[in-house]
Amino acid sequence: MAAKPPPTVHEEDCAPRRVLELFGSKWTSMVLHALHALHGGTARTGALQRSLPGISKKMLTQTLREMERDGLLSRRVFDAVPPHVEYSLTPLGREFIEPIEMLYEWGRAHAAALDRLGQRPRSRRRGGAAVPG
């Protein structure tokens, strides 16, 4: 029996799609970047929230839980009064930092082009015609 060929990028279970799913939340890459660049790989929830202007406590908690489930972070609960939680990059999370930092660097290098993209009027497509949003 012939071996099954590897999935293509058009199939649901292909590796590139699984990588992109990790970016399902805009906050995932930002949390990884903050943990790596600002906190040396480990931080408490409050420190992360202060490092990420605009993220709500609820969204941070949800993002951290998803990242822990995906194996990017580990969670450590300290038996203290009051109790506190610390998040650390896992080996997989540390590996994932490299492409994220490459994207961030690309963004810094192309900031002017990205600014111009932000100035374009947004539109929705309906029936093949662009409709102002």
> What are 32-52's pLDDT values in tens digits?
999 999 999 999 999 999 999
pLDDT over threshold 80, residue 130: no
pLDDT higher for 30 or 5? 30
Q: For domain 25-107, say whether CATH 1.10.10.10 is its number.
A: yes
Nearest Cα neighbor of 96 from 32, 41, 38 is 32
For the chain, the domains span 25-107
For the stretch 67-122, pLDDT in tens is: 999 999 999 999 998 888 999 999 999 999 998 899 889 999 999 998 888 776 65
pLDDT of residue 131: 34
Per-residue model confidence (pLDDT) at position 133: 36
- Distance separating alpha carbons of residues 87 and 85, to the nearest angstrom: 7
- Res. 128: pLDDT tops 80: no
40 CB-near residues (< 8 Å, 6+ apart)? none
Q: pLDDT over 90 for what percent of the chain?
A: 57
pTM of the model: 0.74
